[in-house]
Structure 1
Amino acid sequence: MTDLTPNNTFLITGIIFITIAVIGQSKLGFIEINPGFFGRFLALVIGISSLLYATGLLNFSGETVDLLRTYLAGLIEQSINSINDLLQGS
């Protein structure tokens, strides 16, 4: 039997929650699922985020965060310089 890695777990969880969000009210054997609107929306959000995490699109490593922080700091500095130039030129 295969081991359940975190990616497999999030993939299975995402598929289950997407199924609950799409089907809505259903009866699975002796279990009845009736999540309502908020439950279906929450299942959709959890399902999509689980699938994104399983595919690696939602993983943020330390390098990614540092690169994003550096990029945003550069954009802010550039914006402040542009605003200062506009204010001094008027």
Structure 2
Amino acid sequence: MTDLTPNNSFLIAGIIFITIAVIGKSKLAFIEINPGFFGRLLALFIGISSLLYALGLLNFSAGTLDLLRTSLTEQIKQSISSINELLQGS
């Protein structure tokens, strides 16, 4: 028997959420699934992101997050300095 790795878990969860988004209102034995419009939209978003993560397209590492954080702080500093220049110039 194979082990259930996180990659397989995201693949299974993605398939389940995509199925809920596509089918919508249904009955499974004694369980009724009726997510509504926003529930189906949320299930579609979660399903697609789970499948992308399982395929490795949405894999974020710590280095990527650090790079994102430093670039974001640099952009904030630049925008604050440009706003200060505009305020002092007028």
TM-score grouping bracket, smaller chain normalisation: 0.7 to 0.9
Equivalences for 1:42-57 in 2 at 5 Å? 42-57=42-57
Output the CA distance in 2 between the equivalents of 1:87 and 1:20. 52
Root-mean-square deviation (CA, aligned residues, Å) is 2.3
Output the CA distance in 2 between the equivalents of 1:84 and 1:26. 57
1:9 aligned partner, one-letter code: S
Q: Deviations over 1:25-47 (max 9, x none)?
A: 3355x455432305434432332
Aligned to 2:61: 61
Give the paired residue count. Answer: 89
Output the CA distance in 1 between the equivalents of 2:46 and 2:30. 21
The reply on whether 1:35 has 2:27 as its aligned counterpart is no
Aligned to 2:79: 79
Superposition TM-score, scaled by structure 1 size: 0.74
The gaps in structure 2 that reach 5 residues or longer are: none
For residue 79 of structure 1, report the CA deviation from its aligned partner: 0.8
Identity rate of aligned residues, in percent? 73
The reply on whether 1:23 has 2:23 as its aligned counterpart is yes
2:85 aligned partner, one-letter code: D
Output the CA distance in 2 between the equivalents of 1:36 and 1:87. 50
Q: Deviations over 1:1-36 (max 9, x none)?
A: 4432211111111011101210123355x4554323
Contact 2:25 2:33 in 1 (8 A): yes
For residue 70 of structure 1, report the CA deviation from its aligned partner: 0.7
The gaps in structure 1 that reach 5 residues or longer are: none
Secondary structure (helix, strand or coil) at the match of 1:7 reads: helix
